Chains A and B, each alone.
Chain A
Amino acid sequence: MPEIKVTPLGAGQDVGRSCILVSIGGKNIMLDCGMHMGYNDDRRFPDFSYITQNGRLTEFLDCVIISHFHLDHCGALPYMSEMVGYDGPIYMTHPTKAICPILLEDFRKITVDKKGETNFFTSQMIKDCMKKVIPLNLHQTVQVDDELEIKAYYAGHVLGAAMVHIKVGSESVVYTGDYNMTPDRHLGAAWIDKCRPDILISESTYATTIRDSKRCRERDFLKKVHESIERGGKVLIPVFALGRAQELCILLETFWERMNLKAPIYFSTGLTEKANHYYKLFITWTNQKIRKTFVQRNMFEFKHIKAFDRSYADNPGPMVVFATPGMLHAGQSLQIFKKWAGNEKNMVIMPGYCVQGTIGHKILNGQRKLEMEGRATLDVKLQVEYMSFSAHADAKGIMQLIRMAEPRNMLLVHGEAVKMEFLKGKIEQEFSINCYMPANGETTTVTTNPSVPVDISLNLLKREMALGGTVCYGDGFLVSSEQALKELGLNEHQLRFTCRVQLQDPHSDPDTLHRIYTHLKSVLKGYTIQHLPDGTVMVESIVIKVSSSAEDPNTKVLLLSWSYQVTFLRC
């Protein structure tokens, strides 16, 4: 039976450094090649030595597919392709291809230039790596080689995120990457057709969460900002440059437009300029509203949102500022925070999760006095709000996707083991399909039952349907045995099995034979048993002969002979 093997090198019962190996129909595919944000040592990248101890990966992998541009899905790509060595094709969608190098370069700068690490990939390596990338379009079927084909589906999550359908022959696997089943202000919902893959590899970040309606959160957010602005306060929103930031920008921009507000909104520059440019370009990857209205006005050409300058922070009057980074641990957002923290009219809105130890985490937990470097303390008088905007599918969303795709097996990655356990149980219960959740380095094997297509001439089919039994021959084309022999120029051979049985019998040979004949006749009723004149007994097609051994006439040797078809039938 053919098998599909799935081995996570990262993201198996874990979040971060997504990297999953799939062997299907003799092809090896790597899905995503990410890094782990939590580690600064070797554990940050997937362990490629699992594939091969030494040397390059090219001959072991048929292709690499990157689902989206987040670093935990593409961060290890230059390392793998340039430093470990891989020259095969890398597939990603157009937006991912555009934005990915910007993020990689930024990541490299921080690690090498700021932290001073060595033995890291260089700018040139990023460029070389991107040269190997082949862009994908949505719903476009790409032949990687004669047998392997891949097709991308829309996944929501971030601009250009895709789910991939990988197919070899009639076996197939779908890898979701990260996806979102509820639309947001700039992206649509993930969608896949009923492709019935053998395995659906799905992320499961929110395996144990069912989320509230997005609208409530948006309304709360807008209300808070609006109230603060009306009071004359300043609002600081610390964000990471890509993804959520754009969503919040659109949210505020449309709200400003609708409500005819005049207070300025600023976005601290940096990556954002470049990224916004790509958001403007890839309109087809956004949601219905933006797609429909971009002819009149591109939603990413913000009317109210302007670039931020350091000096603006001291301007009087209300304003809203988006600043990086998102957890208030450094950079511009921290500077602005320090300036504004003293005034209770101001507000800071944390739109996402904050890691322990950052200022963001501290103030979210209600700390009102912060110790800054140099023994200075900072009184936090401004209001602190928390808003969760996250673009992963929740438990219901995952179930919805399963219902859409109708897979035969399910495999969970990119989530915590305990949560996966729960979802696994639910999936097995609701859909009665197998669900796997391998840890890193653990291989899951799924046997498939692919249908093998064969051609057959109509005459032969009709004949064989009437008679039964046929012979298969070469290249998926069925021909009759006679024709096969003719084409090969061979004679027909008969294969017979023989067997000797010795028994003690004083009678003469014909007598013995006759006794056997009568015995068999009494025992095997319903079979045709013949006593032939040439001294043999035929039971159906089995021939029985009797001869006496040379040494002892009392020892008779029974010779049984039957054709191979009979064995076949007995089996």
Chain B
Amino acid sequence: RKTYLSPAKKLRLSKPSKSAALHVDLCKATNSTDALQYLLQFARKPVEAESVEGVVRILLEHYYKETDTSVRLKIASLLGLLSKTQGFRPDCIVDDIINTLCNEKSHQVLAQLLDTLLVVGTELPDSPAVRQRLVQVSCKHLSDTYFGVRNKCLQLLGCVGTVDAPLSKDVRDVQSIISDYFGDQDPRVRTAALKAMACRLLSDDYEQVRSAAVQMVWVLSQLYPESIVPIPSSNEEIRLVDDAFGKISHMVSDGSWMVRVQAAKTLGSMLQVSPHFLEQTLDKKLMSDLRRKRTAHERAKELFASGEFSSGRKWADDAPKEKLDTNTVNLIASGACGAFVHGLEDEMFEVRIAAVEALCQLARSSPTFAEKCLDFLVDMFNDEIEEVRLQSIHVLRQISTHITLREDQLDTVLAVLEDSSRDIREALHELLCYTNVSTKECIQLALLELLKNLNKYPTDRNSVWKCLKFLGSRHPTLVLPLVPELLSTHPYFDTPEPDMDDPAYIAVLVLVFNAAKSCPTMPALFSDHTFRHYAYLRDSLSHLVPPLRVLGLDPVDSGSASGSVESAQLFLQQSLNRISTIQNLEAPGAQDLLNFTIRDVQRLGHLQTQLSGAADFCATYLRCQLLLMKALQEKLWNMAVPLCLKQNVTATAAARQILEETYKLEFLYGGLENRQIATIHHVRLQAKALQLILSARTRQGLDPLISSCEKFLQEIEAFQRSFLTELPHLHDSFVDKLLELKPRISACSSVELVKILQTTLRQSGLLQLRLPEQIHRATATIIEPTGESDNPLRFTSGLVVALDIDATLEHVQDPQNTVKVQVLYPDGQSHVIHPKPGDFRKPGADRHRLITQVYLSHTAWTEPSQIEVRLLLSYSSASSSLSSSKHLGWSDSSDGLQSPEAVVEGTIPFSKPVKVFIMPKPARR
């Protein structure tokens, strides 16, 4: 009979017993502590939806009998928990709870019961009858003396009594009920009142209350942005969102900085506000002795318009102009007036940052506002805290699509280029990449300042070049009239040829060439050596110099970019499909096919950069297969061991290489799905099997063999456990076959096992690789040191020298923990250095920047020699993407479910090594 029962039936049988068990337990409980203990235990177990009601009845029964408040409290909270159970409609227990509410004396239990009702109310959003009852109940208990009860009532009211649902006539309007409690004597109740419904407690004495008020006003404004509200003391009406905006703007000059931060942040998210109000936030009327004064911004603008360049030479050029009527001056900013002016000048940098961020958000949605806030953002470049400066530069970059910088503004922006902080300078370079300027003077100015910057901080070379590249390609027409001057050409005379290695000259050329790309008339202005330099730079700095159609030079092969991504992807897929026919081929043919496919795929990766990750991945995978195939097809399997030592060695090497490659496959590529990981692990398993067979053949003695056999079996089990869902896809593979034979394997001796492995390995076919959407290969490029310097870094032996490393990392997850720097000395010594987490910056998505220093030291050498520096990606199989994707909780790990598989740790070099010339000198005595 037992086998006859379906699982669902089983469950239903078990639950009465469960509630009954609780009943028995509670009856057994002699004192309140015991009962509490039982309840706590009960709370830990889940309850099925069908049995909830029964449990609730039992709980209520005990509730009525119970005299101890803490037990009643627990029961009340349990009721709330139970009402949350999926699939259970708590409407049947509402009446019961309301009944208990009427008889309850303890305030704490009352509050808890109301909380339970709150849960019920949220579970039943569509039942007006229940809502009405709940509103009545909470109104009744609003007069309670205990603040917790009042708090809960207000929460309940706010939750169930929505504004749009009209309540019956006899119940007063919910808002007015709640607003009565704004005057409550307890600040906690006031906070609750606000959380239930917003209002004008923005001027409360307690900062928490004000803070909550700001939040509530915001919530309301988001819910009903378009509803019209009247302005008190006048008969005008405005939109609610505008009114809320005005009120929150007012809070930017609050006394508590926490409130100010919140207000400033909140402003940024109110995008629906009308432009008229928005522009007021930057408004501040100046006066001096009751005369209207123009702000420095206005003066700068006027000066610019009148054509005068420099300002401030005159004493009293800010002298006040017209006289103001005393009646019109408004000293208290009404509404939004000047909110950001205050926010940006605030004492606390938290407020300033929040204000800058808010400006950014608002400016991104409104071009006119972006134009207006420009002056203020530019001013922030001069803030005393670097964070604020950096933030405002970033913000300006984000809104730069909307704006064109005036010359005087650009001047201020460029002044920051001399900042000693590298972050600031680089942020500014990035900003300049996206900036639109209006005149050719601006371009000249920018170039001049950038060259100055280059001169002062030579390490900025790459960043400056990149910046000029964009500057040139954005403003070809503005660069055109500057070309003769920039290249210092002369209509009649030949000018001396500039030094090709001068970074400043390269910078100018980068600007000119990028402008020339979309300006076909420009190359006519070039002199001969410019063309030669072009050819050289196009070759050496191809990422900065675009292909040009230049007379006398063949247009550069531009076929590389012509193919579409789709066709490339199709090709990749086809190549992979072709591999699947490999089973039918003879050994040499199959190997050739693999070889050719690998070559094709690699070439494709070079041509189509978007697919390079996927192509690389495929190529590596196929290489593994090729190695495996070669190793298995060696003749050695048919011969006696001593006869084929050489082949044995190559096969062992192949196995090791495959293992290494599988780790690369697993950890170097981002975007892998479980399927691919299973495939990789499968290859790894095959390699391990190969290793096992080889060691069985060569080595004598049974003991080591037995232990390695056991290990292998464990690995198979681990594989099976972790890729249970993937097993159907692995049909007819090595593992599949092994699992079929599993009962036999686990029983047989190790020698037999090796034999089985050998046959299965040789019989099993190639596993088809399916590509996921996106595969990215983690890459690293060391920018600094360049490895070009011929001057050795001299230092006294025994002391240390610091080497600056600057590298960009792409598609590296969690670089703080995985990226390491390796230094290789000529004598074979190698040091691995773990950079500090603070050395990593994140300039963009999937991009990281490592700027760090490594310390070198060595004993004395007779002459300078090169050391190698490279970046390593460390991995550990414990933290593999596999286990993290499964999200094992802490609690589960103790169950012994975790694989006993030994954790494998290692490193993969993933950047080109850079050679640095160093010379440790013997210490002078």
List residues of chain A with CB under 8 Å of any chain B CB. Answer: 182-183, 185, 188-189, 191-194, 208-220, 222-224, 226, 254, 257-260, 287-289, 364-366, 383-386, 395-396, 399-400, 403-404, 419, 422-423, 425-426, 430
Contacts and interface: CB of A to CB of B under 8 A. Distances in A.
Given A213-B344, A289-B384, A223 B415 contact: yes
A288 B287 CA distance: 29
B295 A426 contact: no
B331 A215 contact: no
A213 B345 contact: yes
A216 B412 contact: no
Contacts, number: 111
A209 B345 CA distance: 18
Contacts of B376: 213
B420 to A, nearest CB: 4
B410 to A, nearest CB: 13
Given A219-B379, A260-B456, A365-B315, A212 B296 contact: yes
A385 B312 contact: yes
Interface residues of B, number: 45
Contacts of B311: 220
Contact of B326 (A287, A366, A404, A425): A425
Of B311, B333, B418, B456, which is in contact with the most chain A CB atoms at under 10 Å from its CB?
Answer: B418
B210 to A, nearest CB: 11
Interface string B343-369: 011111100000000000000000000
B421 interface: yes
A430 B326 contact: no
B195 interface: no
Given A216-B295, A287-B347, A208 B205 contact: no
B664 interface: no
A225 B700 CA distance: 85
Nearest to B294: A212
Contacts of B420: 257-260
B61 interface: no
Nearest to A364: B315
B253 interface: yes
Nearest to B288: A209
B418 A260 contact: yes
B380 A430 contact: no
A366 B315 contact: yes
Nearest to A190: B347
B380 A215 contact: yes
A384 B315 CA distance: 8
Nearest to B300: A216
A422 B347 contact: no
Nearest to A401: B255
B315 A404 contact: no
Given A212-B296, A215-B380, 17 more contacts: A183-B345, A183-B346, A194-B205, A210-B293, A212-B293, A213-B344, A213-B376, A258-B419, A260-B456, A366-B315, A383-B313, A386-B316, A399-B331, A404-B255, A419-B290, A425-B326, A430-B332
Contacts of B385: 289
B297 interface: yes
B621 to A, nearest CB: 51
A216 B296 contact: yes
Contacts of B288: 208-209
Interface in B405-456: 412, 415, 418-421, 456
9 contacts: A193-B255, A215-B344, A215-B380, A216-B297, A223-B412, A289-B385, A364-B315, A403-B332, A422-B326
Contacts of A364: 315
A182 B295 contact: no
B286 A212 contact: yes
A213 B380 contact: no
Nearest to B347: A183
B289 interface: yes
Given A213-B341, A258-B420, A396 B315 contact: no
Nearest to B289: A208
Nearest to B378: A219
Top 9 A-B pairs ranked by shortest CB distance?
Answer: A216-B296, A183-B347, A215-B379, A260-B420, A259-B418, A208-B290, A189-B347, A399-B331, A188-B347
Interface in B176-217: 205
A512 to B, nearest CB: 60
A507 B332 CA distance: 80
Contacts of A214: 345
Interface in B312-338: 312-313, 315-316, 326, 329, 331-333
Interface string B535-562: 0000000000000000000000000000
Contact of A219 (B313, B332, B412): B412
Contacts of A223: 412, 415
B454 to A, nearest CB: 14
A259 B297 CA distance: 24
Nearest to A256: B420
A208 B331 CA distance: 10
Contacts of A188: 347
A286 B316 CA distance: 31
Interface in B265-285: 284-285
Contacts of B341: 213
Contacts of A400: 253
Contact of A399 (B332, B348, B349, B380): B332
B289 A215 contact: no
B384 A220 contact: no
Contacts of B380: 215
Interface string B375-387: 0100110111100
A185 B347 CA distance: 10
Contacts of A288: 347-349
